[in-house]
A and B are shown apart, each in its own frame.
Chain A
Amino acid sequence: MTELRGYKELPIGAVPFRLSTDYKTGDWRALRPVVDNNKCVKCMLCWIFCPDMAIIWDGEQIKVNYDYCKGCGICAHECPVKAIDMVPEPSE
């Protein structure tokens, strides 16, 4: 049996030290948002409402970061011109 450590030897609290950007949540996705940039009016509502910060505005067009997108479909539902389609992920 190992000896118990006193409070002085223990680290102070639990300190998370890695950023969650290392953890790709994209594999949760069942439906994939696909942006039609010809229809897009660049209103940025998808960028504002995306809960996963997966919509990226690069200065010219909207892109989706599929590393993090969980496929909830909020962007497609909120798009005023229906420029985002939710298509099923291809099965392996």
Chain B
Amino acid sequence: MAQQTLPQIPIKKGEPAYKLWIFEPEWKGELPLILNPRQLAEQKRAAILPGHRLCAGCAAPIIVKLASFAFRGPTIVVNATGCLEVATTIFPYTSWAVPWIHNAFENAAATASGVESAIKAFKKTGRLPWDHVDVVVFGGDGGTFDIGLQSLSGAAERGHDFLYILYDNEAYMNTGIQRSGGTPKYAWTTTSPVGSVLPGKTQHKKPIADIMVAHRIPYVATATPAHWLDLMKKVRKGIEVNGPAFIHALSSCDRGWRHDTALAIEVSRRAVDTCYFPLWEWTPEKGYMLTDRSLSIARNPKLKQPIERFLEVQGRFKHLLRPENRHLLRDLQEWVDKVWEDLLNRAVNAPR
């Protein structure tokens, strides 16, 4: 019934333009991870359908779309409250082509633990018709850095097999750009305004991925939608490991970051180029490994760009580029350099 409402767009070869993910009970095996873009366009369809009401130029659906290309089979998506949840499931509409469950801000990871335990119980009693059913959580930065950290930490400690993808837009964008634990220092938000008294938020961003590394879970990584191959590979690795996995994905928000809608991918690219948001992955066996563009920068430090390149396109950092605020800019640059140096010292594949 629901399938009939999907627009039937003629595609000469491959699959229709939009489809629901339905796996027959006898379906076995794994969906391949395709890295060739043209084959991808012919064979894969995103788990998120068009018609969702996220803002034009939002990077969150790009992250969901790229992650869904790396799903390996039947997948259940758990969604914490946030932009992604409220905009994709406005009653009676849903944008999800996969089974989807929503719970509150603070218990997305707890819900995922429950779903995963139910799958395990079904498997034990022989009632699961598939080899594997994966659980993927999408949480925003408010639901991960601040409100949902206890449930995420608990689920990681209990060792449930799920992948938690944090799409980090660096403030509570859904309710009107309030500061969160993920907001960087000196960023403007409505609750950390810029004026004669305050230069924006006065605290640094919480190192959430390093907090998850400290849990010693099997897989932790950072990713951005601009480095899409890297993101897809990391999502597949996170799904394949046995145990909790965590991916911190930077998701630009054109309303909150105050940049042009067309620059969503460009901003994420600049975040990596300036080493504001380095790309790495961590496994207990190997430790920190730089990936993609960050590995190139580590090998050739000339590619590293000054932090202004990242700040200049965003209205929330506009005050930092004024001449009287040069000391703030220097402070931010020093912090970025320190974090990058620290990462270089820890990364096993960085040149010494």
* A residues in contact (CB < 8 Å) with B: 14, 16-25, 28-29, 42-45, 47-54, 56-60, 65, 67-68, 70-74, 76-78, 86
Contact = CB atoms under 8 A, between A and B. Distances in A.
Contact of B262 (A18, A20, A22, A74): A74
Nearest to A77: B262
Given A20-B93, A59-B11, A68-B50, A48 B228 contact: yes
Interface stretch (B51-59, B155-163, B339-347): B51-59
Interface of B: 2, 5-7, 9-14, 17-18, 20, 37-38, 40-42, 46, 48-62, 65-66, 88-95, 225, 228, 254, 260-266
A16 B91 contact: yes
Given A51-B57, A51-B61, A25 B51 contact: yes
Contacts of B14: 59
A15 to B, nearest CB: 9
B57 A72 contact: yes
Nearest to B229: A48
A75 to B, nearest CB: 9
Nearest to A28: B56
B52 to A, nearest CB: 5
Give 6 nearest A-B pairs by CB, closest first.
Answer: A73-B262, A20-B51, A72-B57, A44-B37, A16-B94, A70-B56
Given A72-B56, A74-B57, 16 more contacts: A16-B92, A20-B53, A25-B53, A44-B40, A44-B41, A48-B37, A51-B62, A53-B18, A53-B65, A57-B11, A58-B11, A59-B42, A65-B9, A70-B55, A70-B57, A73-B262
B50 A56 contact: no
B10 A58 contact: yes
29 contacts: A16-B92, A18-B92, A18-B94, A19-B5, A20-B52, A20-B53, A21-B5, A21-B49, A22-B5, A22-B51, A23-B51, A23-B53, A25-B51, A25-B52, A42-B38, A48-B66, A49-B62, A51-B58, A51-B264, A52-B50, A52-B52, A54-B50, A60-B12, A65-B9, A65-B17, A72-B56, A72-B261, A73-B262, A74-B264
Contacts of A42: 38
Contact of B265 (A18, A60, A70, A74): A74
A56 to B, nearest CB: 5
B262 A51 contact: no
A18 B38 contact: no
A24 B90 CA distance: 13
Given A21-B18, A49-B62, A51-B54, A78 B265 contact: yes
Given A47-B41, A53-B50, A77 B265 contact: yes
A53 B6 CA distance: 13
Nearest to B7: A21
B13 to A, nearest CB: 4
A54 B7 CA distance: 12
A85 to B, nearest CB: 12
